Structure 1
Amino acid sequence: MKPIFNTISSILIGSALLMQPAYAETPPNMLVVGFSMNNILTLDPAAITGKEAVQVLANIYDNLVSLNAADRSKIDPQLAESWTVGDDNSTITFKLREGATFASGNPVTSADVVWSLKRVMKLNLAQSTSLKTHGFTAANAEENFTAPDEHTVVIKLPKKVDPQIIIMTLCLVGPGSVLDSKAVTEQEKDGDLGNAWLTNNSAGSGPFKLEGWRSNERVTLDRNDEYWGDAPAMRRIIMRHLAESQSQRLMLEKGDIDIAYSMSAADLKALENNEDVKVQTIGGSGFYYLAVSMKDEKFKNQKVREALRYLIDYQGLNDSVLPYFGKFRDRPIQTGISGALPSIGYKLDVEKAKALLAEAGYPNGFSTTLRAISDTPFVNLAPAIQATLAQAGIKAEIITGSGDQIYGAMRERKFELIVGRGGGGQLPHPDSNLRSIVYNPDNSDEAKLTNFQGWRTSFYDEKINKMIDEALVEANPEAQIKKYEEIQTYYADMVPAIQPFAEVVDSVGFRADIRGLELNASWSTELRTVTKER
């Protein structure tokens, strides 16, 4: 194990903590968070990928609307105080609140909202995918995002779609984040719309602003004194890169950090009897899965993919590795979402897998690589899956690394096997799961649909694309549920490139004197409500 990171006093040069002893209690007006930054590559809302960047930016940027943390089906006002859907379901009109300003002091106007939406589409980076899915493009952005006055935003839907899923999409950090257009434009270089500058800077209207980011070290947020809402109790938030779960646990126990976002099941379990620490668990977004690249000749074979389905120890993984992180689920729609069927109940069956491999022409198995990011719980999932693959003769070399190294290879479609986490679910709608995990409208390398897991795995099935599109626009609720059930059955029969083995749950450890912490299943947990009872 690497040495435990130095205490907070050692990193806050020039602060009041400089004279504090080791393992000093954190100040009452400063929140110290431990989490892994391995998957944070940029802080530009249009370009981010992964939950960790969302956890940071949710405290810097506001959206028009947000998903309620306690009730995922409820949409709360944020910069928009009200919104209406047109009678023909083709437009959505938002009315902005008066008096909101960005951290720069510039007023938040409808022009900023429209500019932010157009920017996402023009940059065509990771966060454009969720809007492109529903027909929005850089070419039609001018027509579909308009600001008839300073406090009104009108969104015209370019194709028939459930307007609620567009409103839900605008709740997400990334596609829905509203930027200070004046501040960002001033930093634009070579037509990049401020992309380079926003990698290390912020231009939001949220309760905090970015003071600094040192990759794989820490993110520092300062209270935004221009914030339009109730002032946060915390003057500063320090989000420290603590990749090792045990480091987070020890520092949480000592009081060196207030919140630990990414601890292992074993460390969370060990904290249950500690009166100074609490653990909060909620349903999360997406799945843990084993994925194959169908660019690889072996995995194009349906029998091979089916064999892999029976070389996952579903029960063992969920019992030993995934408490606090996931619960058994082998369907592509999360439990509790409209239309979700019960799990099929797949089990580890080595003999059945061997028979399938023999049918596929691999009676003695084969060699391959298995990628996983070097974070909890993946560092434990990968060896467990490697062991069960070996029982059928599949020799999988584990490759670990940062999010950029592992998911980067997946985004470039240059991998063989990966144990990953994803598959949508930030929106409480079955389309959010299906469109992320299996939908792929264009399988060409040039399409670069990196937010679609289906595209990343080179999986393409025209029938399921059509089924997903038709289900989304079905107006009759009962008929829509039936369509989603049919999709799940077809998904199982065709043996796709991604096999879920658990749905994500989110757990966080925090000091017992922390109040107001409420995890959000869309990863956008707001820390402005947090106080300390000291």
Structure 2
Amino acid sequence: MKKKGLLLTCVLLVLSIASISAKGDAEPASEQAAMNAPLVIAIEPDYFTFDPGYAYELYAPMVIGVVYDNLFEFTSGAAAPMPQLAESYTVSDDGLVYTFKLRKDAAFVSGNSVTATDVKFSFDRAINLKSNASALLDGVVSIDVIDDNTVSITLGKADSAFISKTTSTAYAVLDSAVVIEHGGVSDASAAQTDSAQNYLDHQSAGSGPYTLKSFTADDKLVMVRNENYWGDLPAFETIIIQDMPDENAQLLAVKAGDIDIAFNLSSDQLSQLDSIEGVQIISSTTMTMGFIMMHSDPEIGMQVSDPYVQKAIRYAVNYKELQTLIGAGTITPESFIQVGFIGSKDPIDPASQTDLTKAKDMLSKSAYPDGFSIDFRVCDLAPEGIPLTLIAEKIKSDLEKIDISINIVQETWGGGFGDAYRNRTVGFTAMYWGPDYNDPNTQLAFLPGQYVGLRAGWTADMNPALAAMYDTIVAETDNNVRTGFIEDVVTETGEDSPFIVYAQYPKYIAASSMLKGVEYSNLYRLDLAEISK
């Protein structure tokens, strides 16, 4: 993230959100106050931790991305990762050993210099915590400190996306001295003995342009500018991220000027902002995709574990109506390799993809030719402002047309659904996914035998040839060859897999017209350090 320097005086942290206005015609005195006011963002968050070793939710990078630094980062408009804490790097001829030279001027908020020891501690800890985030470091065999400013990372196998992976929050570099002081452990016992998460959930140990001031679940998060940041200072002294799950409340708040950015608006709500002065609309296509998951283990997925039932559902879903429901700009990729990645294909024609005759034919070949009833578990999350419960109702309506009756069971993500989903015990659901890093290799997690594939009970022995494509693609450093392999995966999984991708979401953000640099980021959601007035 390139940071824009701007000296601001320290004021207004104690103001309530209701008193904040970033819009309107101001008198000279109030203009100065507006420039010094906090940046207030309303979102429907899914995060619950800001410990980089654990964080794996869609919105966590919005915070972690400005509190911590990485070896590499994705800057606005960049097609490839750019150095951040790394000054330069070399790769061995076999593609297994990466040696990074660190910049010497980077320091943590504590004042401690960023060293190779901190990189090793951070990566070892992330690996040994054995969390969901740990999967992003699965290929790392060892991290070795060469000297204070040189660190070497050895991989078990060549990885064509390794530099892109280092931009993810799992690779954030922590102040090892501070984390150890608060219970941090990086050795093999970390999963059992590390106790630093609570500290890192409410304070930070990073070298980024902001520090975490406070976090109250279901209320708000406050970050303050790191005045000793080693790079260019960001514009805003204080950022408040307000938990506002109701998109209508977000709409009213941005119209009234009580917030600066409404992050979870639907396309239907945009028309209500057409005549509102001082509000700008930012729209883009995201890499966030929604999918139906059908567990392949009969004991968990029950009827939907039947491959013919899975195909019947694939043809029964009305993709065109789902696109309309989600809003203008929605597209439907052929498979879990989103449109925009190398190897992806053009969006499918939603009208031709739905075929009830084929759906009924597939069902007739299954063990349940006369249809069946089944529970459909759905949680309370709302990707890009669209509740998954709304998607579930649409799927229920579609499947009734082929005599599949689903009973929608509503659950909360934090109340057990999240754990069940990750522990591979959810049989039939609608969920969503955003890339962990900006490379199609991140989507290979959906292949049989990989960690998302296994959430659907899709083991490697169910499709050994397809499972083997993971290693083939990851090891291939020639992008032209890799593209061909990915295209093959798209073709096969678009026709036969326990995942049905029903949409690639658009994104609509309403923001004060006084703001600059408000852009959607697939990695960070918003690059907060880029926003200014």
Q: Which residue of 1 aligns with 2:122?
A: 116
- For 1:40-439, what aligned pairs fall within 5 Å after superposition? 40-71=47-78, 73-132=79-138, 135-136=139-140, 140=141, 144-162=142-160, 165-173=161-169, 175-188=170-183, 191-192=193-194, 194-295=196-297, 296-323=301-328, 326-345=330-349, 347-362=353-368, 363-375=370-382, 376-377=385-386, 378-404=388-414, 405-422=416-433, 425-433=435-443, 435-439=444-448
TM-score using structure 1 length: 0.86
Q: CA deviation at 1:36?
A: 1.0
Q: 1:89 to 1:276 in 2, by over 3 A?
A: same
Q: Deviations over 1:86-145 (max 9, x none)?
A: 33322212221122111112111111011100110111111110221xx32xxx4xxx21
Instruction: Tell whether 2:44 aligns with 1:36.
Output: yes
Mapped to 2, the partners of 1:273 and 1:481 lie a distance apart of: 45
Would you say the 8 A contact 1:272–1:279 is kept in 2? no
Q: Secondary structure at the match of 2:125?
A: helix
Mapped to 2, the partners of 1:55 and 1:180 lie a distance apart of: 20
Q: Deviations over 1:147-182 (max 9, x none)?
A: 2111112112222332xx111000112x21110100
Would you say the 8 A contact 1:101–1:108 is kept in 2? yes
Would you say the 8 A contact 2:261–2:509 is kept in 1? yes
What amino acid is the match of 1:437? F
Q: CA deviation at 1:15?
A: 5.1
What amino acid is the match of 1:110? A
Would you say the 8 A contact 1:69–1:521 is kept in 2? no
Q: Secondary structure at the match of 1:212?
A: strand
Would you say the 8 A contact 1:440–1:455 is kept in 2? yes
Paired residues, what number?
493
Q: 1:24 to 1:96 in 2, by over 3 A?
A: closer
Mapped to 1, the partners of 2:16 and 2:201 lie a distance apart of: 29
Would you say the 8 A contact 1:208–1:224 is kept in 2? yes
Q: Deviations over 1:329-365 (max 9, x none)?
A: 2222122322223345453333332332232132133
What amino acid is the match of 1:457? A
Mapped to 2, the partners of 1:22 and 1:342 lie a distance apart of: 44
Q: 1:402 to 1:219 in 2, by over 3 A?
A: farther
Q: Secondary structure at the match of 1:501?
A: strand
What amino acid is the match of 2:500? Q
What amino acid is the match of 1:302? P
Q: Which residue of 1 aligns with 2:4?
A: none
Mapped to 1, the partners of 2:231 and 2:73 lie a distance apart of: 14
Mapped to 2, the partners of 1:23 and 1:454 lie a distance apart of: 46
What amino acid is the match of 2:378? R
Mapped to 2, the partners of 1:159 and 1:20 lie a distance apart of: 53
Mapped to 2, the partners of 1:18 and 1:239 lie a distance apart of: 12
Instruction: Tell whether 2:439 aligns with 1:440.
Output: no
What amino acid is the match of 1:238? I
Q: Deviations over 1:417-450 (max 9, x none)?
A: 211111x5343432221x2222425xxxxxxxxx
Q: Secondary structure at the match of 1:171?
A: coil
Q: Give the gaps of 5 or more residues in structure 1.
A: 1-12, 442-451
Q: CA deviation at 1:253?
A: 0.9
Mapped to 2, the partners of 1:392 and 1:254 lie a distance apart of: 47
Instruction: Tell whether 2:491 aligns with 1:508.
Output: no
Mapped to 2, the partners of 1:103 and 1:479 lie a distance apart of: 44
Mapped to 2, the partners of 1:22 and 1:488 lie a distance apart of: 48
Say which of 492, 496, 501 aligns to 2:494. 492
Larger deviation, residues 338-347 vs 374-383: 338-347
Q: Deviations over 1:499-531 (max 9, x none)?
A: 112223433221111012232221253212222
Would you say the 8 A contact 1:330–1:502 is kept in 2? no
What CA RMSD, in Å, does the superposition of the two structures yield over aligned residues?
Answer: 2.4
Mapped to 2, the partners of 1:389 and 1:380 lie a distance apart of: 15
Larger deviation, residues 209-218 vs 61-70: 61-70
Q: CA deviation at 1:488?
A: 1.9
Q: CA deviation at 1:65?
A: 0.7
Q: 1:151 to 1:293 in 2, by over 3 A?
A: same
Q: 1:271 to 1:408 in 2, by over 3 A?
A: farther
Higher helix share: 2
Larger deviation, residues 229-238 vs 516-525: 516-525
Q: Which residue of 2 aligns with 1:449?
A: none
Would you say the 8 A contact 2:85–2:106 is kept in 1? yes
Q: Deviations over 1:41-67 (max 9, x none)?
A: 211111112211111211211111102
Q: CA deviation at 1:257?
A: 0.6
Q: 1:217 to 1:300 in 2, by over 3 A?
A: same
Q: 1:272 to 1:84 in 2, by over 3 A?
A: farther
Larger deviation, residues 41-50 vs 214-223: 41-50
